[in-house]
């Protein structure tokens, strides 16, 4: 109300749209200057020490600047840098004081005690976690977000071209800064390392437990009532899923390029049979005494998850053609196949790497179902690791798909998640075994249980002798130096030997323990191959499994695995073979019993198969997605 021509008060004038725009450029320059000058902190440090993974994660010393060759290839957001600008008024001294206090308390916290208990064989965490609220400066956030909105509005004017890339980067860095602000409120050192008690590991596991608290209760009983995605149900109420019919450039056209997605490697045979690959050739290398039943074993590629999941959702009983009925929306974009074609392409530019992902976003924004909730009820399956879709602003590896602001609310299912992102959910790598019925599953479980395991421990892999930071060389040395005849067996992956399931599975079936060190990234498909064969995995890095798979692996990690710090192995402080010798037969049998109970949920059954009463890996995915969709936020918090 009032005369519009009356003089405006000074505060009102300062925060008018015209004056805000005048302040925007200096403010952005200030933020950029602070980010540039404080480029000594990034979210991950020593996530894994292999040289390849250093190029995937923003890894550097918390007190040292990232080197140029590392900065070119990192795959995470520059999260810590912008946080410095958000809290610059508080000063670094106060920040260091807070870090010191939280760091000192971290190892004595209730959560640290629970994590330690979880790592001890036979021990179950005794106390329930309490979710803590993040500390965020909402005023700064609102101001920056408002400025970004005005920049978007200004960029939409006809006389000025859109600057979406710059706006995306600013929004991404703001989002990442908020995540880092929360991370710092929980502990001092934010690194994921081989030391399970480090603050970074504590907080990352807390995030995973938060995901678990918003998921269906974990039940590892083999004969539990099945909610199989292909089992007839009396009602689909609350279970409807809408599958987008994307243009073929987003999926099938990529499959057609199977012969040249990877230079010098033909993937076409691996994309057969809904992504399962060609059946293992009987009589060629398959020993029928190893793979049971012989007809259910395939040469499945580790990057085939997108094809396998798409085939499963096409056969889902409660798939609907009516978007208004759907509780979930499935986006069948083969992002892994899209990004992999640019990894070694000499003519690749970041514009090319991001082009198809940006077209996907534009296509989704034309759909009323997307705009209804801005992607909250949407699901995207990606058959590669999270870091391949989180390219650094100045990097050249991978795309920025998962850093796009539009993708932040979408649930992402990946073979390796980013431990700091609640919308990243890790799901099992596809293995070689794909049952078609419950009888197939029972036959394999009986076969696993009947094995005579002559080897104490085995390692299937290749030496990374050119990478002095990788723990593999030390493990191979300890394995070869083992004194007992059957103490340790090493199968070296020469040529294509480890691509053939009978070689790999035979070693796992005849071993009690299987070493699973990090590869190019912390996770390994071999972890699931060994679990499916009933072999107890020996892990050397928390991100290999403990921080990855909330819906498929029990929280009590010591009930199904053994953990040894890779740092202790490389330094010669610990001999893995000797550690495993000290585990009693009773403890070993208990772990193998737990593993047997979860094998069904680690494999992907044939599309359309009736696996009742078992639930396979994809059943577990749908069960948890639908559980989250059908419960209110208050219900989930009380779970």
Q: What are the DSSP calls for 10-65, one per residue?
A: HHHHHTSHHHHHHHHHHHHHHHHHHHHHTTT--SBSSS--SHHHHTTTTB--TTSP
> Looking at the predicted structure, is the pLDDT value of residue 78 above 50?
no
How far, in whole angstroms, is CA 218 from its chain's centroid? 19
- Domain range 438-602, CATH architecture: 3-Layer(aba) Sandwich (3.40)
Q: Work out the number of other CB atoms within 10 angstroms of the CB of residue 93.
A: 8
> Looking at the predicted structure, is the pLDDT value of residue 205 above 60?
yes
In angstroms, rounded to a whole number, what is the distance separating the alpha carbons of residues 23 and 30?
11
pLDDT at res. 24: 61
Which residue shows structure tokens 């290398």?
285
pLDDT at res. 631: 78
Question: Average pLDDT for residues 526-536, to the nearest whole number?
Answer: 98
pLDDT at res. 201: 84
Which CA distances in Å does 513 have to 196, 449, 456?
21, 15, 6
Which CA distances in Å does 555 have to 305, 387, 495, 549, 550?
24, 24, 37, 9, 7
In angstroms, rounded to a whole number, what is the distance separating the alpha carbons of residues 255 and 248?
10
pLDDT at res. 152: 35
Question: Average pLDDT for residues 528-549, to the nearest whole number?
Answer: 97
Q: Which of 487, 484, 494 is nearest to 460 (CA)?
A: 494
- Of 113-117, 217-221, 227-231, 323-327, the one with minimum mean pLDDT is 113-117
Question: Average pLDDT for residues 394-415, to the nearest whole number?
Answer: 96
How sure is the predictor about 634, in pLDDT bands with cuts at 50, 70 and 90? low
- Of 92-96, 246-250, 396-400, 415-419, the one with minimum mean pLDDT is 92-96
pLDDT at res. 73: 32
Tell me which of 625 and 96 has the higher pLDDT.
Answer: 625
Q: Output the pTM of the full model.
A: 0.73
Q: Work out the number of other CB atoms within 10 angstroms of the CB of residue 379.
A: 21
Produce one character per residue of 556-577: b if its CB has 16 or more CB atoms within 10 Å, e if not. bbbbbbbbbbbbbbbeeebbbb
* Maximum average pLDDT range among 59-73, 91-105, 127-141, 439-453: 439-453
Question: Average pLDDT for residues 110-119, to the nearest whole number?
Answer: 39
pLDDT at res. 350: 96
Tell me which of 476 and 82 has the higher pLDDT.
Answer: 476
Question: Average pLDDT for residues 491-502, to the nearest whole number?
Answer: 85
| pLDDT tens track for 5-54 | 444 444 444 445 555 555 566 555 555 454 443 333 333 333 333 333 33
Tell me which of 38 and 482 has the higher pLDDT.
Answer: 482
- 10 Å CB burial of residue 599 (0-12, 13-18, 19+) is buried
In degrees and rounded to multiples of 5, residue 11 shows phi and psi of -60, -40
> Looking at the predicted structure, is the pLDDT value of residue 466 above 60?
yes
Helix (H/G/I), strand (E/B), else coil: 232: coil
pLDDT at res. 630: 84
> Looking at the predicted structure, is the pLDDT value of residue 79 above 80?
no
Alpha-carbon torsion 317, 323, 325, 329, what sign?
Answer: positive
Q: Which two tokens stand for residue 521?
A: 């990234």
Question: Maximum distance among all alpha carbons in the chain?
Answer: 95
* Maximum average pLDDT range among 70-79, 100-109, 144-153, 317-326: 317-326
Question: Average pLDDT for residues 174-194, to the nearest whole number?
Answer: 50
- Average pLDDT score, the chain: 76
| pLDDT tens track for 258-295 | 999 998 899 999 999 999 999 997 655 556 689 999 99
pLDDT at res. 25: 60
Q: Where are the domains of the chain?
A: 10-107+131-188, 241-267+301-430+618-632, 438-602
> Looking at the predicted structure, is the pLDDT value of residue 221 above 60?
no
> Looking at the predicted structure, is the pLDDT value of residue 165 above 60?
no
């Amino acid at each position: 109300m009032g005369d519009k021509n009356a003089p405006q008060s000074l505060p009102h004038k300062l925060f008018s749209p015209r004056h805000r725009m005048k302040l925007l450029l200096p403010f952005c320059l200030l933020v950029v200057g602070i980010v540039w000058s404080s480029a000594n902190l990034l979210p991950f440090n020593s996530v894994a020490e292999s040289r390849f993974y250093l190029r995937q994660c923003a890894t550097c010393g918390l007190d040292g600047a990232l080197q140029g060759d590392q900065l070119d290839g990192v795959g995470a957001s520059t999260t810590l840098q912008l946080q410095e600008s958000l809290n610059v008024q508080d000063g670094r001294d106060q920040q260091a004081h807070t870090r010191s206090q939280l760091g000192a308390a971290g190892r004595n916290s209730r959560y640290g005690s629970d994590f330690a208990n979880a790592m001890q064989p036979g021990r179950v965490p005794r106390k329930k976690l309490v979710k803590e609220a993040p500390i965020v400066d909402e005023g700064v956030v609102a101001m920056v977000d408002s400025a970004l909105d005005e920049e978007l509005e200004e960029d939409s004017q006809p006389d000025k071209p859109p600057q979406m890339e710059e706006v995306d980067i600013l929004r991404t860095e703001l989002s990442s800064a908020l995540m880092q602000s929360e991370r710092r409120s929980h502990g001092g050192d934010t690194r994921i390392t081989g030391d399970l008690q480090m603050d970074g590991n504590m907080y990352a596991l807390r995030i995973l437990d938060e995901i678990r608290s918003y998921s269906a209760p974990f039940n590892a009983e083999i004969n539990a009532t099945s909610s199989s995605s292909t089992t007839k149900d009396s009602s689909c109420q609350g279970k409807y899923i809408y599958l987008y019919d994307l243009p073929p450039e987003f999926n099938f056209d990529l499959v057609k390029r199977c012969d040249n997605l990877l230079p010098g490697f033909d993937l076409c045979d691996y994309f057969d049979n809904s992504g399962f690959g060609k059946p293992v050739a009987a009589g060629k290398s398959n020993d029928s005494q190893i793979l049971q039943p012989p007809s259910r074993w395939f040469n499945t590629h580790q990057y085939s998850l997108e094809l396998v999941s798409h085939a499963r959702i096409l056969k889902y009983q409660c798939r609907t053609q009516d978007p208004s009925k759907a509780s979930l929306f499935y986006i069948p974009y083969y992002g892994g196949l899209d990004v992999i074609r640019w990894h070694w392409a000499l003519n690749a530019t970041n514009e090319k790497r991001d082009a198809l992902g940006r077209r996907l976003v534009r296509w989704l924004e034309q759909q009323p179902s997307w705009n209804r909730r801005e992607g909250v009820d949407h699901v995207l399956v990606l058959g590669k690791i999270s870091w391949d879709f989180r390219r650094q602003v100045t990097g050249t590896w991978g795309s920025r798909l998962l850093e796009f602001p539009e993708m932040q609310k979408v649930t992402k299912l990946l073979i390796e998640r980013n431990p700091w992102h609640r919308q990243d959910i890790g799901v099992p790598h596809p293995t070689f075994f794909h049952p078609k019925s419950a009888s197939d599953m029972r036959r394999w479980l009986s076969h696993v249980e009947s094995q005579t395991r002559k080897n104490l421990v085995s390692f299937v892999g290749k030496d990374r002798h050119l990478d002095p930071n990788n723990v593999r060389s030390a493990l191979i040395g300890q394995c070869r130096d083992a004194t007992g005849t059957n103490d340790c067996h090493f199968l070296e992956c020469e040529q294509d030997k480890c691509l053939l399931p009978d070689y790999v599975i035979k070693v796992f079936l005849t071993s009690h323990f299987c070493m699973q060190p990090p590869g190019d990234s912390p996770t390994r498909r071999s972890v699931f191959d060994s679990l499916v064969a009933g072999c107890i995995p020996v892990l050397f890095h928390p991100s290999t499994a403990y921080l990855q798979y909330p819906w498929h692996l029990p929280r009590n990690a010591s009930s199904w695995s053994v953990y040894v710090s890779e740092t202790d192995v490389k330094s010669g402080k610990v001999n893995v073979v000797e550690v495993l010798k000290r585990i009693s037969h009773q403890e070993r049998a208990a772990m193998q019993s737990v593993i047997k109970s979860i094998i069904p949920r680690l494999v992907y059954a044939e599309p359309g198969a009736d696996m009742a009463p078992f639930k396979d890996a994809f059943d577990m995915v749908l069960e948890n997605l639908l559980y989250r969709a059908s419960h209110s936020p208050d219900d989930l918090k009380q779970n």
